[in-house]
Amino acid sequence: MDSIHEDYYAILGVPPTATTEEIKHAYRALARRYHPDTRTEQAPTALFHQVQMAYAVLSDPARRQAYDKRRAEAGLTPHAPFTWRIYLSRYHLSTQYAEQTLYLMMEIRPTGVETHRRLPLNLCLVIDQSTSMQGSRIEHVKRAARWILTELEDDDFLSIVTFNDRANVLLPSAPVGSQRNRVQAKISSVLTAGGTEILQGLQTGLKELKKHHSDRVVSHLILLTDGQTYGDEEDCLAEARAAGAQRIGISAMGIGEDWNDTLLDEMASQSGGTSAYITSPQHIRTMLRKRIIGLSALYATDLYLAFRSTEKVQVEHVFSTTPYLKHLHFEGDGVKLGVVEENQPVIAVAEIGVGQHSAGEHRLLQLELRGSVPKVNVDGVLLRDEVVCHFTEEKPPEEPVPAAMLSVLSKVTIFRMQEQVWEKLDRGNVRDATRQLEYIATRLFDLGETELARSAMLEAGRVAQSGTSTSKGRKELKYGTRSLTIASRRESHD
């Protein structure tokens, strides 16, 4: 049977519109390169087999048509904005267990972008100017804000709001091209005073964004704060939810150690933004830059992954790895994956509880990916697939677990352990929390994450002695472990 998950066109390097002649030509060229007898490159034989398989299907008009049709039905047409690969920890399960665990991993890739033109950005910087920001913090924020200007195009919109107990529109929303010079002077005039009321800044910032908000721009609010807000958390979340529903994202960057990570994380996830932990003032610029580059490369929004299963199958936990590890919560029949950047695959893993099944093939799950891809004007169902497993009475054959899945799961496990530590501490279970922190340290050392492992070790010591976690340790571990899946983060270590 021809696999619809293999993109035979891509394997042969021809467009989906290629003629039989073009396909033959491409095949011959590849065959010369990959054929075991004549190959000029050290290519594995598996690659040659793939090429042969692709040619066998595409050179036969009937098979090619059937292949095209089945790919189209699965949402994998050549013009589909996304493709995915689905892995299971095993495909053969035993009939003898009342309950067993199955892992599912989905690698969701944006397909090649046809237009390199990006949608204009509609940005609002909301800057905390409370007294605690005094000194290097506010200076670095100002420097970063000035620098943002150089990163933006003339037709992007920018507004800046500052807040303490009240909010003030420093720069009303307008195209960047019209106000480059004014922005410099305005930013320099910011002084620190007063307390921190995030809601004030948030509401004022959103008002500015809405002036130029439409389907043809990417609207985003970037909140920079070092403090806690008092009493208005619920209202902040409500604002974030409402903004998210209108496709206005909020990214929150917490500076230092005292800010309310739960609130900022929640606001970001409600609105489809991101949150970041800024450990030093110099770090502000790097984080802002990352965020703006990410927004410029925005490919899809409102990505939603739905699971439909029978009663015997329970999707228990879902994690996504992009832009960092997130434990996703069910909303309706699925989870929100949020926004996706160009050329950045999204990996989601699910832990599934599977009840007892009789021998034979069973369809355990139906998967559906929905979302909106503004650049190609697609909104709705993007991909569909199903998970089928084979149940046997005798011992199922040994199946190697895909290495990519193990790598992601080992990190998800550490992230999850860290979540459990804080849950244990909240219940007053100091002994178990300490022990689990030490386990985390051990796993991190195994991964070569020495710095983070030391943080875990130190936090274990502090928890054992005082019975509570420290704000610093908690943030270091939370933001550190959730970044474990980001490859570029890895520095070389010996």
Partner 1 sequence: MIECPSCGRKHRPGTLFCSECGVYLLTGGPLRTEPLPEEELPISRANPWANESIGEDAEDAAIPLRIEVLSTKRQIQIPNTPEVHIGRTDAVHGIFPDLDLSPDGGLEGGVSRHHCKIHQRGTTYLVEDVGSANGTFLNGQRLTPYLPHMLKNGDELQLGRITLRIIIEEPTES
Angstrom distance (rounded) from CA 260 to CA 280: 17
Instruction: Select from 94, 228, 279, 471 the one that contacts partner 1 (CB under 8 A).
Output: 94
User: Which CB, 246 or 442, lies closer to partner 1?
Assistant: 442
Find the shortest distance in angstroms from Cβ 262 to partner 1: 22
Using the minimum distance from each CB to partner 1, give the nearer residue, 184 or 413: 413
Write phi, then psi, for 333 (nearest 5 degrees).
-95, 10
Q: Where are the alpha helices (DSSP H) in 386-470?
A: 403-426, 430-447, 450-466
Nearer to partner 1, 78 or 353 (CB): 353
Which of 229, 138, 222 minimizes the C-alpha distance to 187?
138
Please, which residue, 139 or 438, has the CB nearer to partner 1?
Answer: 438
CA distance linking residue 51 with residue 425, whole number of Å: 55
Please pick, from the candidates 188, 246, 413, 466, the single residue that binds partner 1 as defined by CB under 8 A: 413
In terms of CB distance, is 285 or 326 closer to partner 1?
326
Q: Residue 419 CB, nearest distance to partner 1 (Å)?
A: 10
Looking at 8, 103, 277, 319, which residue binds partner 1 (CB under 8 A)?
A: 103
Q: Among residues 416, 429, 468, 471, which is the contact residue for partner 1, using CB under 8 A?
A: 416
CB of 436 to partner 1, least distance (A): 7
Give the DSSP letter string of 251-304.
EEEEESS-S-HHHHHHHHHHHT--EEEE-STTHHHHHHHHHHHHHHTEEEEEEE
Smallest gap from residue 358 Cβ to partner 1 (A): 17
- Shortest Cβ 481–partner 1 spacing (Å): 11
Instruction: Give 100 or 228: the residue with its C-beta nearer to partner 1.
Output: 100
> In this structure, what are the phi and psi dihedrals at residue 233, rounded to the nearest 5 degrees?
-55, -50
Nearer to partner 1, 237 or 457 (CB): 457
Among 56, 149, 174, 417, binds partner 1 (CB under 8 A): 417
Residues 178-237 that bind partner 1 (CB under 8 A): none
Rg (CA), the chain: 26
Closest to partner 1 by CB, 108 or 412: 412
Question: CA of 321: how far to CAs of 120, 337, 349, 482, in Å?
Answer: 27, 10, 8, 8
Of 22-30, 37-45, 96-104, 251-259, which part binds partner 1 (CB under 8 A)? 96-104
CB of 408 to partner 1, least distance (A): 11
For residue 460, the one-letter residue type is A
Round to whole Å and give the CA distance between 339 and 443: 31
Closer by beta carbon to partner 1, 331 or else 398: 398
- With binding defined as CB under 8 A, does residue 271 bind partner 1? no
Of the two residues 347 and 382, which places its CB atom closer to partner 1 in the complex? Answer: 347
Measured from the CB atom, the residue of 275 and 436 that comes closer to partner 1 is: 436
The size of the chain, in residues, is 494
Q: How far apart are CA 252 and CA 264, in angstroms?
A: 6
Q: Binders of partner 1 among 64-93, rule CB under 8 A? A: 89-90, 93
- Rounded CA separation 469/419 (Å): 13
Restricting to residues 313-372, name those near partner 1 by CB under 8 A: 353-354
100 binds partner 1 (CB under 8 A): yes
* Nearest distance from C-beta of residue 335 to partner 1, angstroms: 20
- DSSP of 100-165, one letter per residue? EEEEEEEEEEEPPPS--PPPPEEEEEEEE-SGGGTTHHHHHHHHHHHHHHHHS-TTSEEEEEEESS
Closest separation in Å from C-beta 488 to partner 1: 24
DSSP assignment of 303-335 equals EEEEEEE-TTEEEEEEEE-SSS-EEE--BTTEE
The only residue of 99, 155, 386, 451 in contact with partner 1, by rule CB under 8 A: 99
CA dihedral (100, 351, 487, 137) positive or negative:
negative
SS3 state at 65:
helix
> Which of the stretches 169-177, 298-306, 325-333, 401-409 binds partner 1 when contact is defined by CB under 8 A?
401-409
Residue 71 or 443: which CB sits closer to partner 1?
A: 443
Among candidate residues 417, 429, 403, the one with its CA nearest the CA of residue 478:
417
284 contacts 253 by C-beta, under 8 angstroms? yes
Whether cis (ω within 30° of 0) applies to the bond prior to 323 is yes
Site for partner 1 in 421-480 (CB under 8 A): 436, 438-443, 445-446, 453-454, 457, 460-461
Site residue total, partner 1 (CB under 8 A): 35
Residue 228, amino acid: Q
Residues that bind partner 1 (CB under 8 A): 89-90, 93-94, 97, 99-103, 353-354, 401, 406, 409-410, 413-414, 416-417, 420, 436, 438-443, 445-446, 453-454, 457, 460-461
